[in-house]
């Protein structure tokens, strides 16, 4: 059975202020509009290149707080949701493939 106990030693950014995270190079200001992970600490950027980045907290919040339209669909034989933005995100969408479920075992 897999077991994991979180401690702050597992996360070098835990409980640090925005100013500290910026001064240590973890995050950068993106033209004053929002703070993003520094490219060297951004898994999407590291694995897929300069056109990709991890979502900001605000983007994830908007995705989950009914500011998007979720439509069940199939793309390339894969079932999942196409999530289309509203408002400031109206030109954006993402496909989230169905991946199963977890039952605590």
**Predicted structure pTM score:** 0.59
In a domain, 4, yes or no: no
The residue segments making up the domain with residue 93 are 63-99
- What is the residue-wise DSSP string for the chain? -------GGG-TTTT--HHHHHHTTSEEEETTTEEEE-GGG-HHHHHH-TT--PPPHHHHHHHHTT-EEEEEEEETTEEEEEEEE-GGGTT-EEEEE--------
**pLDDT at residue 87, as a whole number:** 82
Residue 71 confidence (pLDDT) above 90: yes
What pLDDT is recorded for position 75? 94
Q: Is residue 30 part of a domain?
A: yes
Q: Which residue has the higher pLDDT, 82 or 55?
A: 82
Residue 74 and residue 49 share a domain? no
- Do 72 and 47 lie in a common domain? no
Counting the structural domains of the chain, the total is 2
Residue range 58-85: average pLDDT?
88
């Amino acid at each position: 059975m897999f077991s994991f106990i979180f401690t702050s030693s597992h996360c070098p950014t835990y409980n640090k202020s925005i100013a500290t995270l910026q001064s240590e190079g973890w995050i950068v200001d993106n033209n004053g509009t929002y703070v993003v992970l520094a490219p060297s600490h951004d898994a999407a950027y590291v694995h897929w290149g300069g056109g990709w980045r991890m979502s900001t907290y605000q983007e994830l919040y908007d995705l989950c707080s009914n500011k998007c339209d979720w439509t069940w669909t199939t793309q390339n034989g894969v079932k999942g949701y196409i999530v289309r933005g509203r408002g400031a995100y109206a030109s954006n969408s993402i496909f989230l493939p169905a991946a199963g479920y977890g039952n605590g075992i």
